[in-house]
């Protein structure tokens, strides 16, 4: 029987899935802080701008990458590693499931 440390399951998905997760977290936190700053009285808490405001092309690239990550999350990753998911022994209901991004 397969154990949690067997190495046959791909719990985290592929590297692309990991990058997508990170970009979505960065985007969500940034938008949350922008909204909070607006509610607290015209404060600019745009973290992306704070770090990359001196380089507008890089700042715009980060915004585009966050948008692309959102679209990719909608459609899911189609790579073999993410499609295979977990083995039947590790799946909660005993059947093979697809991996999540």
Residue 95 lies in a domain: no
Structural domain boundaries enclosing 59:
15-84
Residue 90, pLDDT > 90, answer no
Tokens representing 66 are: 């966050």
Total domains in the fold of the chain: 1
pLDDT at 1 over 50: no
Residue 74: the pLDDT is: 95
SS (H, E, C) 15-75: HHHHHHHHHHHHHHHHHHHHHHHHHCCCCCCCHHHHHHCCCHHHHHHHHHHHHHHHHHHHH
**33-86 per-position pLDDT tens digit:** 999 999 999 889 999 999 998 899 999 999 999 999 999 999 988 888 887 775
Kindly state whether residue 37 falls inside one of the protein's structural domains. Answer: yes
Whole-model pTM over 0.85: no
pLDDT for the residue numbered 54: 87
């Amino acid at each position: 029987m397969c154990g949690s440390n067997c190495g046959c399951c791909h719990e985290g998905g592929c590297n692309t899935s990991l990058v997508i997760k990170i970009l979505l977290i960065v985007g969500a936190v940034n938008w949350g802080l922008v909204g909070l700053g607006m509610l607290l009285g015209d404060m600019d808490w745009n973290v992306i701008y704070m770090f990359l405001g001196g380089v507008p092309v890089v700042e715009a690239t980060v915004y585009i990458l966050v948008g692309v990550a959102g679209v990719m999350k909608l459609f899911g990753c189609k790579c073999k590693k993410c499609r295979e998911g977990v083995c039947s022994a590790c799946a909660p209901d005993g059947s093979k499931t697809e991996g999540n991004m």
